[in-house]
Structure 1
Amino acid sequence: LACIEAVIRHTEHVSYEIIVMDDCSPHIQARQLGKYLKNILFFSNSENLGFLQNCNKGASFAQGSHLMFLNNDTNVQPGWLSSLVSLMAFSQKIGMVGSKLVYPDGQLQDAGGIIWREGNGWNYGRLDNPHKPEYNYVKEVDYLTGATMMIRKTVWDKIGGFDTRYIPAYYEDPDLAFEVRKAGYKVMYQPESLVIHFEGITNGRDLGSGVKRYQLINRKKFYEKWKAILEREHFSDGKRLFLARDRSAQKKHILFIDHYLPHYDQDAGSKATLHYLKLFVKNDIQVHFIGDNFYDYPETPYLGTLTQMGIEVLHGAWYGAHWQQWLRDNGPNMDYIILSRPHIAEKYIDTAREMSQAKIIYFGHDLHFLRELREYQIKQDPAILQSSIECLKRELDLSAKADMCYFFSDTEKKELHKINPFAAIDVVPLYIYDSFKHREKRVSQCKDILFVGGFSHTPNIDAMQWFCKSIWPIIEKTLPDITLYIIGSKPTEEIRALEKENIVVTGFVDDATLNRYYRTCRVAIAPLRYGAGIKGKVVDALYNGMPLVTTSIGAEGFENARSAMLIADQPEQFAEKVQMLYLDDALAERYAKGAEIYCRKYFSEAYAKEKM
């Protein structure tokens, strides 16, 4: 009753039925459940069939597209079922998914099961802290504990249910997982599905008596059935646990280190990081991630976005203090270590080289010394010049130590090769899209001007101050009825001070709101006077099919892009090009189409894979 009560209380957003199989239970009141509770079908066996046959019989009555096996000694928690359904829906290649099981005292029972070469099972993480990062990412596993697991009905029918050689119970659940893989599907662990399990209540714990004794008997049957696969694909008892826990022995492993979890809705660098993480995962690479502040941002979706992709995120105080120990223990399993941004690479590169044989990749984003040198040329501040010199020394050192340097524009490659001709450097796209948009509205139906950029980045502050002071007054004279929308996180006091009747500073907006601005505004601007590298705001405008006016700095790195954007560096010219796009529908449509074509060519998944 407690099990069913928890299912009813904690199951939301999923249509379900409950099938109760009474295998000659002594509890007569259980047989009355179907009379009083919704969604419940009750079936009673005339003789005791045992766990395996009882499950097979119960599954034959199911009407749904998925079967969820749940022991009666469990207590499900909020979101337990919807998270399993969501994971199953992610890919048709996933055939079976299971929950994180914890004991009533809060200790972990298992985070997915491991089968060793000898046929022994291992509850990964048993009696450990269930909140540790290693137990909280979606992953492929050898098997799932039969106390709670979901399988596609079509896969179940194809396999024929639990193998009856294991009657009455034990080893039918790992056998089923092996059969699912044999049929061409994956078996996955979903940490967001949390279930409390009162282990031992159903069949006891004594291996020498009752049904429990079949655990040893059936292990031998299991080993004989799967001997060839066990010897070919599995490790000996307790060996190579790091690879056995998520079946990643045949995968490449990447450790990606950035300054924090990707704030992909806040800044271009984070968005780029997320796009590359997605590319690696999609290409079956096992990814481990460190954010240098080791913070999990609990009020945001950032951690969950990565862990639900299957990325192990090392966060929390222990990892902050012991990341070197983790790298010492697991560095030999890494094939690549990617260090993102110079201050991060500088901190980790020597330790990464010492503790692994991995290829070290420096993800520079842009050349910081070049960006600061250009800022100095405008502001003439000696402190900025000194900072640029320090950045140059750092970036030269990193380019010499790394096996490969990746930048987002050819300008960085050329500039760095001038001062270090021996550096291994290649250019990769800033963003990677696996699908592309079509404008919902014709440009002629749109109104207003749009700037998008985060204001923790000083070039964006300078850009909008310059635009509003030197360019906007010119535009207003011929286009008095339009509004300039300035969108971006962390607007400073200087940016807030730009607001007036026809200039709106929104601050941060979510993706849905941002997409609405892209759909309804007519012209995008990127009036950058200094900076380096490919500019995310420019790529975003191209991706959304926006007619765009930018500067030579904003267009830097966009090769052969004259058909995708207009470029001007002087206030009068910049204003004139905005007015052209605003007043000439045919011209605006041509540049909108050119933007889409350019983005499809240079920011596709296929192009990124070719470049890497």
Structure 2
Amino acid sequence: MIYFKNQNSSIKNTIDKFEKPIVSIIITVENNLNYINFCLQEIFKNKNNIPYEIIITHDSSNDENVNIYNDIGNIRTIRNGKNLSYILKCNNAVKYAKGKYILFLNNNTKVKKDWLKFLVDLIEKDELIGIVGSKLVDINGRLKQAGGIVFQDAGGWDYGKLDEAEKPEYNYVKEVDYISSVSMMIRKDLWEDIGGFDEGYTSDLYADIDLAFEIRKRGYKVMYQPESVVVYYEEKYNKKIKHCNDLDRKKIMNKWHGVLKKQHFERGKHVFWARDRSFDKRTILVIDRIIPQYDKDAGSRNTYQYLRLLAEMGLNVKFLGDSFCGDELYSRELQQLGIEVLYGTWYKANYKRWMKENAKKINYVYLNRPYIAIKYLEFIKRNTNAKIIYHGQDIHYVRELKKYEIDKNEKTLKRSENYKKIEHELFKQVDTIFTVSQTEQKLIKDIVPNKEVIKIPIFYYELCKKKLTSFESRKNIMFVGGFKHPPNVDGIKWFVKKIFPNILKKIPSMKFYIIGSNPTKEILDLNSDNIIVKGFVSDEELANLYNQVKLVVIPLRYGAGVKGKTIEAIYNQVPIVTTNFGIEGLTEINEVITPHNKANEFAQQIVDIYFDNEKLTKISQSYIKYIEKYFMKKNAVDQVKIALK
């Protein structure tokens, strides 16, 4: 702990000094040194190397020890010549601020880990964010505010007050009506354009509300960042404050009457829209097996990318994972995109109730995978008027039928028949069908000729990858694919047994890297001097491997749909040797990749081109054009827009 009283020399050794602070933290003090001591200690503990300064403003403080902070490190104290209100103190203190952002922080607070980092990260990510604020909790961890709602009568409501702070509905980034200046960051240039807090208000609550309205008037957003957590030791509410609030509420009513009538609701009504200002957005509920673990399998990556795209296209996106597990890492990824993730025991028991209560507000439901979609389809059709979009990732019964042609197992055939019943029923009952495969698009249209069947890119990219390192400096080959997917297990076993030994006869130094999550024991047992089973790797390590190997192999003997591993290798411009199943469903793919289905032909193709760096370079260059034509973000946006008409 850092104790400040009468310890000036130790403070100098503790506090950083930044010549060019990004954030100016303004703290008002009212006669309580213990509060400010504690508040500063927590700021110093959780600074995250973000350049900042602290401006302590006070006037009526009887404790001269406040002045011990003056000009120590990055702290300055501003003592006003007379007693000023909270609003006047804040306006005056900003005149001394050097930062790009102004952050108002009450002195009776305790900031938590990364609080400042998350505020800065969010406002820096979007130039149209004018204000961003923290999640406020009390000393017991209960919620004090997850952003504020303003109703048509200009009454302010601390959304979620006294509820459990970790509930999903309080933990996604969202636009809000206002943010409390207990912990609120604003762009300094906007603050100056507005002229600061309106000094005609007595209460800080309505000064906060008025400032938020001014921000939106200028085309900016007011945002709530749940990862920035601040404990607020709120003081008791008295009748004098209530009287001031009533007067200020009437001022808001008069000043913003038109906006309140058009953009706000009657008190307590339509909270579903009011809590994240989604009244003018279309709502889409996306349902899949689990929260997408985008770095572990192609299907999850596909779901994640389209969730992100839907949010970027301005929809109000809700996600429900059938497991109802709130995986901390992956759920946070979605929540930081502004997506509400419905998880936990309450939603598991009450998801039907939630759907019924919000049925009129849900415009679309996007169902993924047949065994998940069929579970929810009937209830959604019976209880909502939402347009239903279905994406199976691939046609499962076709995949299982192709597997049966290899293993001749009656259980495989039975699975295929069961999937066929489910998938045909889904095709008939939903409104729109997404597929990633040109082949499957034709098949589905033959089954349901009157349905809207849209081919979407399995993955999309915003930019093409830069030119690769020379093939002269590369070596070895690689496979990428998750091993919960049976075709990948079968393909690797076939490659290692029937193909790789013939390659090693010609190129004995070659190493084969097997990359993918959840490798089975039989895959792990393949490890040897020439076979390296790495299993799951990070995106960073995978990118490095793509920059090191000469070839990617896709030795699939059955499957369906489009293979994410194929598109990923094409995007990374690493030449592919594959069977038909590795490239099926891809438009005009035979112009850039020739398949090899027999073991000896597959092996010979690898041997033939492995040392031909000129040919490898030409293949790589042809991949760039293919990605630009079919797998850019615009392709995905255009197809999704058709479904959302």
Deviations 1:529-585 (A, max 9, x none): 100000010011011111111111111011112343231111122122222331222
Deviation at 1:168, TM superposition (A): 6.5
Aligned length: 604
Which of residues 604, 615, 621 is equivalent to 1:576? 604
Deviations 1:120-157 (A, max 9, x none): 11111111111110000000001001111001112212
Q: Is 2:468–2:573's contact at 8 Å kept on the other side of the alignment?
A: no
Counterpart of 1:254 in 2: which secondary structure? strand
**AA in 2 matched with 1:151:** I
Deviation at 1:167, TM superposition (A): 4.6
Q: Is 1:234 aligned to 2:264, yes or no?
A: yes
1:225 and 1:608 map into 2 onto residues whose CA distance is 43
Q: Is 1:55 aligned to 2:85, yes or no?
A: no
Look up the match of 1:592. Answer: 620
1:13 and 1:598 map into 2 onto residues whose CA distance is 43
Q: Is 1:206 aligned to 2:241, yes or no?
A: no
**AA in 2 matched with 1:53:** L
1:156 and 1:121 map into 2 onto residues whose CA distance is 22
Look up the match of 1:220. Answer: 250
Counterpart of 1:313 in 2: which secondary structure? strand
Q: Is 1:513 aligned to 2:538, yes or no?
A: no
Deviations 1:239-294 (A, max 9, x none): 10000000001011110000001011100000000110111011111110011011
Counterpart of 1:122 in 2: which secondary structure? strand
Look up the match of 2:3. Answer: none
Deviation at 1:169, TM superposition (A): 4.2
Deviation at 1:498, TM superposition (A): 2.0
Q: Is 1:80–1:195's contact at 8 Å kept on the other side of the alignment?
A: yes
2:602 and 2:288 map into 1 onto residues whose CA distance is 36
Look up the match of 2:34. Answer: none
Q: Is 1:29 aligned to 2:65, yes or no?
A: yes
Q: Is 1:548–1:566's contact at 8 Å kept on the other side of the alignment?
A: no
Which of residues 171, 179, 183 is equivalent to 1:144? 179
Counterparts of 1:191-590 in structure 2 under 5 Å? 191-199=226-234, 201=235, 204-207=236-239, 209=240, 213-298=243-328, 301-590=329-618
Which of residues 26, 42, 62 is equivalent to 2:77? 42
Q: Is 1:173 aligned to 2:208, yes or no?
A: yes
Q: Is 1:335–1:359's contact at 8 Å kept on the other side of the alignment?
A: yes
Q: Is 1:409–1:556's contact at 8 Å kept on the other side of the alignment?
A: yes
Which of residues 157, 166, 170 is equivalent to 1:131? 166
Counterpart of 1:187 in 2: which secondary structure? strand
**AA in 1 matched with 2:127:** Q
Q: Is 2:203–2:248's contact at 8 Å kept on the other side of the alignment?
A: no
2:556 and 2:338 map into 1 onto residues whose CA distance is 37
Q: Is 1:78 aligned to 2:113, yes or no?
A: yes
Q: Is 1:104 aligned to 2:139, yes or no?
A: yes
What stretches of structure 2 of length at least 5 have no aligned partner? 1-36, 641-645
Q: Which moved more, 1:282-291 or 1:7-16?
A: 7-16
Look up the match of 2:629. Answer: 601
Deviation at 1:469, TM superposition (A): 1.2
Q: Is 1:332–1:355's contact at 8 Å kept on the other side of the alignment?
A: no
Deviation at 1:417, TM superposition (A): 3.2
**AA in 1 matched with 2:560:** A
Look up the match of 2:125. Answer: 90
Counterpart of 2:52 in 1: which secondary structure? coil
**AA in 1 matched with 2:443:** E
2:109 and 2:611 map into 1 onto residues whose CA distance is 67
1:132 and 1:349 map into 2 onto residues whose CA distance is 26
Counterpart of 1:19 in 2: which secondary structure? strand
Deviations 1:336-381 (A, max 9, x none): 1011000110110111112211101111110000000000001111
Look up the match of 1:2. Answer: 38
Deviation at 1:332, TM superposition (A): 1.6
Q: 1:552 to 1:169 in 2, by over 3 A?
A: closer
1:509 and 1:551 map into 2 onto residues whose CA distance is 25
Q: Is 1:451–1:487's contact at 8 Å kept on the other side of the alignment?
A: yes
Q: Is 1:563–1:591's contact at 8 Å kept on the other side of the alignment?
A: no
Q: Is 1:19–1:42's contact at 8 Å kept on the other side of the alignment?
A: yes
Deviation at 1:170, TM superposition (A): 4.1
Which of residues 137, 158, 183 is equivalent to 2:193? 158
Q: CA RMSD in A?
A: 1.4
**AA in 2 matched with 1:559:** T
Counterpart of 1:171 in 2: which secondary structure? helix
Deviation at 1:6, TM superposition (A): 1.8
Counterpart of 1:436 in 2: which secondary structure? coil
Look up the match of 2:29. Answer: none
Counterpart of 2:256 in 1: which secondary structure? helix
Counterpart of 2:200 in 1: which secondary structure? helix
Q: Which moved more, 1:119-128 or 1:438-447?
A: 438-447
Q: 1:502 to 1:439 in 2, by over 3 A?
A: farther
**AA in 2 matched with 1:289:** F
Deviations 1:584-606 (A, max 9, x none): 22211111111121112211111
Look up the match of 1:12. Answer: 48
1:587 and 1:580 map into 2 onto residues whose CA distance is 10
2:536 and 2:485 map into 1 onto residues whose CA distance is 14
1:288 and 1:273 map into 2 onto residues whose CA distance is 13
2:54 and 2:309 map into 1 onto residues whose CA distance is 39
Counterpart of 1:517 in 2: which secondary structure? helix
Look up the match of 2:9. Answer: none
Look up the match of 2:14. Answer: none
**AA in 2 matched with 1:560:** E
Q: Which moved more, 1:433-442 or 1:305-314?
A: 433-442
**AA in 1 matched with 2:412:** I
**AA in 2 matched with 1:320:** K
Q: Which moved more, 1:556-565 or 1:330-339?
A: 556-565
1:169 and 1:76 map into 2 onto residues whose CA distance is 20
Deviation at 1:441, TM superposition (A): 0.3
1:132 and 1:2 map into 2 onto residues whose CA distance is 28
Q: Which moved more, 1:264-273 or 1:157-166?
A: 157-166
Deviation at 1:481, TM superposition (A): 1.8
Q: Is 1:12–1:79's contact at 8 Å kept on the other side of the alignment?
A: yes
2:414 and 2:448 map into 1 onto residues whose CA distance is 20
2:213 and 2:293 map into 1 onto residues whose CA distance is 38
2:205 and 2:565 map into 1 onto residues whose CA distance is 57
Q: 1:172 to 1:575 in 2, by over 3 A?
A: same
**TM-score after normalising by structure 2:** 0.92
**AA in 2 matched with 1:225:** K
**TM-score after normalising by structure 1:** 0.96
1:32 and 1:407 map into 2 onto residues whose CA distance is 67
Deviation at 1:388, TM superposition (A): 0.4
Q: Which moved more, 1:435-444 or 1:176-185?
A: 435-444
